[in-house]
Amino acid sequence: MNTVMITGCSSGFGRATAAHFLDQGWSVVATMRTPRENVLPASDRLRLLPLDVTEQDSIADAVAAAGAIDALVNNAGIGWMGPLEGTPEETIRDIFETNTFGTMEMVRAVVPQMRERGAGTIVNVSSSTTLKPLPLLPVYTASKAAVNAFTECLALELKPFGIRTRLVLPGQAPGTSFGTNAQSRMAEAGGIAEPYRPLAARIFAAHAEAATSEVTEPGDVVAAIWRAVTEPDCPLRLPAGADAVALAG
């Protein structure tokens, strides 16, 4: 039985992806900072493990407990929308620690076992914001653009060992908690600085309008991740959601 390890399964894309792999008969190692048993349906093929991707000991413990991993899905991430000038240094570092360095450390932890077996798939969840520059997203986009470049290099570096590496780029997904969490973090940091408020008002209005049109649903991201894991010849970059596909086109 194949085993997939997925980070960030407490909600959103991670939880939906874990549920799908369970439905398809996979063994699932669903990780989150604080596991809750009611997050996913009970199954003898499901293991819930605590994992903080910013802590190396936590990563080592989770990977050791997971055992043989056929596919790793790096989904854990934090969002942020705000001008660089008003973004605290601590916030910038937190975003990169989770979105960028956390992804890198997870890959470093699982590559040795995949290389020894001569097989494995690594899927890094990035963002469609890397496909089109947008204001108020310089820090978040930079953290995900680094993941893109990292993944593209890994695809070449790990191919000789039988390890496949893929990118999934979701679009705007108003139905998840991602945006809500980002707004909460922004409010805690003092909100949008006054000089940028007219720009922010226009951006937020555009986002609200987009939320009533074609956007990304969790199922779109799940389908892209499933394809990345199960289709050996799929493209390296997989946009997920109608808006992401339009940007990639």
Q: Where is pLDDT greater, at 57 or 207?
A: 57
pLDDT of residue 199: 83
Q: How far apart are CA 38 and CA 247, in angstroms?
A: 36
pLDDT band with cut points at 50, 70 and 90 for residue 182: low
Minimal CA–CA distance to 7: which of 104, 70, 72, 67?
A: 72
User: What is the domain partition of the chain in residue ranges?
Assistant: 3-248
Q: Please confirm, yes or no, whether 10 is among the known catalytic residues.
A: yes
Both tokens assigned to 196: 């940028």
Q: Please confirm, yes or no, whether 140 is among the known catalytic residues.
A: yes
Q: Please identify which of the residues 27, 128, 144, 196 carries the catalytic annotation.
A: 144
Q: Please identify which of the residues 27, 126, 128, 143 carries the catalytic annotation.
A: 126
Q: Please confirm, yes or no, whether 144 is among the known catalytic residues.
A: yes
Instruction: Quick: pLDDT tens for 158-172.
Output: 999 999 999 999 998
Three-class SS state of 161: helix
Residue 72: what residue type?
Answer: L
Q: Please identify which of the residues 27, 128, 140, 196 carries the catalytic annotation.
A: 140
* Burial 221-233, CB ≥16 within 10 A → b, else e: bbbbbbbbbeeee
pTM exceeds cut of 0.85: yes
What is the fold, at CATH topology level, of the domain defined by 3-248?
Rossmann fold (3.40.50)
Q: Please confirm, yes or no, whether 177 is among the known catalytic residues.
A: no
Both tokens assigned to 181: 């969490």
Three-class SS state of 136: coil
